[in-house]
């Protein structure tokens, strides 16, 4: 039975790597996939992993009907055995419905990969729709870690090195960026709530005592 599967996790937990692995294993068995992505860091029409692998993909534009795209591909004699979608959080809810239709009406597996929540801990609309419609939601096994050693569950955005909770929902970017750039860091919920990034924790640990200790 074909499925719509949502592989979700924080940033930097290996989603794109898994997408590439699924594609590789299937193509090794002669299957042909169609890969969609939106706003990958490597540029338009690319699906890239931090492990250095990159492949060409179809850039899923804002107004693209993904179901119609696959039907068109098939009706022109193309072959599509399954569909991979990376950065699925950026898709519009309607486009997630189109993915469900690919599964139900064209009987193809659709593997979607994305982060669930943004830097404010709010669901991306595309991820919300995936949670509503997916046959299965898979959490990645290789867990990203907070600086404290706990499992990272949330994504923080930093501007000039400081964690922020206001701003546009979508700002393409990466972890481990220089402090002067907009960047991201994965944190456990406790430290996300306290806005305590690795840099803030280190600054706190290094700061001298505010009050002098006076012997009584």
Ligand X SMILES: Cc1cn([C@H]2C[C@H](O)[C@@H](COP(=O)(O)O)O2)c(=O)[nH]c1=O
Task: Note the helical H segments in 66-195.
Answer: 66-75, 93-106, 125-133, 189-193
3-state secondary structure 59-78: ECCCCCCHHHHHHHHHHCCC
- Is 172 a binder of ligand ADP (CB under 6 A)? no
**87 is known as an active-site residue:** yes
Binding mask 120-159 for ligand ADP (x = CB under 6 A): ----------------------x-x---------------
- Is 71 a binder of ligand X (CB under 6 A)? no
Q: Of 32, 44, 51, 177, which one interacts with ligand ADP (CB under 6 A)?
A: 51
HSE of 156, CA atoms in CB hemisphere, 13 A: 29
Residue 101 or 191 with smaller CB distance to ligand ADP:
191
Quote the DSSP letter at residue 195: T
Which residues are CB-contacts of 173 (< 8 A; sequence separation ≥ 6)?
Answer: 41, 157, 181, 182, 183, 184
Q: Is 173 annotated as a binding residue?
A: yes
Give the one entry of ligand ADP, ligand X, none that residue 145 binds, where binding means its C-beta sits below a cut-off of 5 to 8 angstroms depending on kind. Answer: none
- Is 183 a binder of ligand ADP (CB under 6 A)? no
Binding residues (CB under 6 A) for ligand X: these are 11-12, 15-16, 41, 115, 118-119, 155, 157, 169-173, 184
């Amino acid at each position: 039975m074909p499925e719509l599967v949502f592989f979700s996790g924080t940033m930097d937990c290996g989603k794109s790597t898994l997408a590439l692995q699924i594609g590789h294993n299937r193509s090794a068995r002669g299957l042909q996939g169609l890969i969609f992505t939106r706003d990958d860091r490597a540029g338009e029409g690319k699906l890239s992993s931090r492990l250095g692998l990159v492949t060409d993909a179809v850039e899923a534009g804002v107004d693209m009907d993904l179901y119609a795209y696959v039907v068109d591909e098939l009706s022109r004699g193309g072959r599509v055995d399954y569909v991979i979608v990376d950065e699925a959080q950026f898709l519009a809810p309607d486009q997630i419905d189109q993915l469900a239709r690919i599964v139900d009406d064209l009987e193809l597996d659709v593997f979607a990969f994305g982060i669930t929540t943004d830097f404010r801990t709010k669901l991306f609309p595309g991820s919300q729709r995936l949670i509503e419609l997916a046959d299965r939601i898979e959490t990645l096994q290789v867990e990203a870690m907070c600086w404290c050693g706990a499992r990272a569950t949330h994504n923080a955005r930093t501007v000039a090195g400081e964690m922020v909770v206001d701003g546009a929902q979508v700002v393409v970017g990466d972890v481990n960026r220089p402090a002067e750039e907009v960047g991201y860091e994965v944190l456990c919920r406790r430290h996300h709530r306290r806005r305590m990034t690795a840099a803030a924790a280190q600054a706190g640990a290094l700061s001298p005592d505010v009050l002098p200790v006076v012997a009584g």
